[in-house]
Amino acid sequence: MKTDDSVLQLIGNTPLVKLNKVTSGLKAEILVKTEYLNPTGSTKDRVALRMITDAERQGLLKPGYTIVESSTGNTGTSLSFIGTLKGYKVVIYETTPGKMGQEKKHLMMGYGAEVKTISPEEYEDLRMGVPGAEIELPGRRICLALEKKSPDVWWARQFANPSNVEAQKDTGREILEQTGGKVEAFVASIGTGGTLMGVAEVLKEKNRKTRVVGAIPPGSKKEMKPGRPYPVSDIEGGIIAEMLMKPGLIDEVVTITDEEAVKMTERLWREEGIFAGVSSGANVVAALRIAEELDRGQRVVTVMHDSGDRYLTTRHYVT
């Protein structure tokens, strides 16, 4: 009998699944990396595990320390799960407005974290979608102040932590192995940028012609365009800024509306049996646009970032 010594060993190595009904009429195929099958239901389990273990190895995170982070939910949940399991106190500043924030708050509290809810007034209307890179800023200010004040506080800094990108390079390597290295295009929503950058670096190393596309909601107030600078400070920029300015890495950033993302998410649930979240629906919308330009035998790969259980009360495109 084969057993695992810890639930942490269940992180990663997620299946790659072909879409069938929502791609009807297309010559090319779309494959989805089912990251919602990770233990807490999102790809951020990879990121949280890598950030924590790297920080421990580097002596930045020690027994008795408190882990803090600003999160729209998924990274916060993963840090709550892994941090608590490893014996740390975890404090998350949850920054998604309205009922969505409350839903995610209960998930994090269930794993043992202390959760502080922040609801930025300028993002109360979720109908335009929510860009995680912007909405997390109030929580990041608090995390920065806590880190400066207390030597036993470790801020995970997901938006700028290189371990975020390194964790997602594993996702890219899995995709290469699962596809035999044949990937014409890759699509992912941009939150911190870790998934898109990590996977893109691996795929582009294998084949520079692989098209890499990022997806964002129209509610983004700051431009994300390859080759153009993105604001950088102690609380913003990080991975996104580096990714956008790296020559030849990201080919395009497209906008997906909240309505398009939600509608596709519900189709994935009902027509494909894939119970993923709204950012995953946005990814498929973008993937379909690309697939329409491709021929038979070609493929687009995208990511099912998180589980639909975060979107039962209300559904919006949150990156």
Which residues are catalytically annotated? 44, 279
Q: Which long-range contacts (CB under 8 A, 24 or more apart) does 76-79 make?
A: 76/104, 76/108, 76/113, 76/115, 77/40, 77/41, 77/42, 77/44, 77/104, 77/107, 77/108, 77/111, 78/40, 78/42, 78/44, 78/45, 78/47, 78/48, 78/49, 79/48, 79/51, 79/52, 79/113, 79/156
Q: Shortest CA distance to 19 belongs to which of 308, 290, 284?
A: 284
Q: Shortest CA distance to 59 belongs to which of 162, 151, 187?
A: 151
**Cβ proximity of 175 and 98 under 8 Å:** no
Residue with tokens 């109030």: 138
